[in-house]
Amino acid sequence: MSSWGGITSSEMAAIDENAEWLGVPRALLMENAGAWVARIIYQWLGGVAGARIAVICGTGNNGGDGFAAARHLAGLGAEVAVILVGDPEKIRTAEARANFEAARAMRESIKLFIIRSIEDLERVKREVEESEVVVDAIFGTGVRGPIAEPWRSAIQLINSSRALKVAVDIPSGLNPDTGEAEDVCVHADVTVTFHRPKRGMPAAADYCGEVVIAPIGIPPEAEIIMGPGNLRQALRAMRSRAENVILLEPLPDESRALMSALEVELKPAGVLEEGVIYAGRRINLLKDLKEYSWAVGFGISSSPRLISIIGEDEASQLGINMKMGLRAKYEIYSRKASELENMIYIVGREFDLLIGNSRWRLSWMNRPLGERGLNTLIAATLALLARGVDCFDAVSAAGYLAGIAAGSGYDAALNELKRFLKD
């Protein structure tokens, strides 16, 4: 959660996964996304009965949103053509496939075209040119770099249309994080983006057109909890080369197994060199060290690049109140996070709080942590920092694994980490 404004594509992926973990399945989010696209088109046209609408879809979740939108539009009386650019056998998720199969089964109300080549696009050129609305559901937030055929020509076909052009989540071809188009990009009249605007949108007004932010049922907790999406986000951000981890105080072998799984080399106390340091309760030693990249320890210190682990009583001395409603947390924690010099992890009685660097996140799963959870938190944080993960993202991922260890033991946390590493 970099801010309460625009978010990156990796942050959005983490939020989606956390939402499912909290009990809101991706299929429901996709259904709501499709319904919102249909609703915006209905409002824009003042009704869609008899309107010709072409929905051009890819094989990812953006395409799944498009299939769902097509079904809703057909139910509202529109004459709908679904144009799948790609092989139906390569539709990537179960949710997108279910919505494709539903659209394919609607033989009377939806015309379906499968486009595997540039030549196939000629068959649908007239369909697109004669439509009142063209929906772009090709790529969404996942596109990077040059665009291959026939997707490139499909984007050019959309842009050549005089119809109202509606992009699903983000115009295809646009980098959602930077707002740059490295190759061809859909020039939308309207972009229906989900949950929150994507970070690159302000720089891409010419591509996005009017932006509608559509709530699709993601709970606020999905964005502020330390969940599985944060673990996946951290693992995807790891560097191939790991720094050394230096232990000034020991950690149990059971928690250190997490570090071995992440291919991190440990150095014993007394070996002081550049790397990530676990200072434990000896954070006073950090003032004499200059070369470390990050340190983790108990207590408050002015040492740079320190992640401080403290309890609720120490937190209250810093003016951090753990007993507030959600609205107050957004306001007060956000302000406090921007004031803190170091990252602070508060081990609470009912929930933990990670705060600092203008961000904050919570976890109440299997809290209080206890010894197993705390050791797992420390070990996973050290290892992810050593692999080059952003400090806030590293601790968020570690906080998720810590809850598993607290509730089910070290082996359960290690197995969960290994499961994610295989994905």
pLDDT tens string 245-269: 999 999 999 999 999 999 998 877 6
If the chain, 423 residues long, is cut into consecutive pieces of 10 residues, what is the mean pLDDT of each piece?
69 97 98 98 98 98 98 98 97 97 98 97 96 96 84 97 97 95 95 96 95 97 97 97 92 95 83 81 85 93 91 94 92 94 95 95 96 98 98 98 98 98 92
CA distance readout (Å), 110 to 96, 158, 219, 337? 17, 19, 33, 51
Q: What is the pTM of this model?
A: 0.93
pLDDT of residue 145: 77
Q: Which residues, at least 6 apart from 111, have a Cβ–Cβ distance to it below 8 Å? A: 80, 81, 82, 127
C-alpha to C-alpha distance for 76 and 168, rounded to whole angstroms: 19
Domains and CATH numbers, the chain: 9-222 (3.40.50.10260), 225-422 (3.40.1190.20)
Query: What is the 3-class SS of 309-358, one letter each residue?
Result: EEEHHHHHHCCCCCCCCHHHHHHHHHHHHHHCCCEEEEECCCCEEEEECC
Instruction: Find, among 170, 163, 151, the residue nearest to 84 by Cα.
Output: 151
What pLDDT sits at residue 5?
Answer: 64
Helix (H, G, I), strand (E, B) or coil at 276: strand
pLDDT at 3: 41
> What is the Cα–Cα distance from 190 to 15, expressed in whole angstroms?
24
The pLDDT, as a whole number, for residue 273 is 61
pLDDT for res 274: 75
Q: Please say whether the beta carbons of 264 and 242 come within 8 A.
A: yes
pLDDT recorded at residue 329: 94
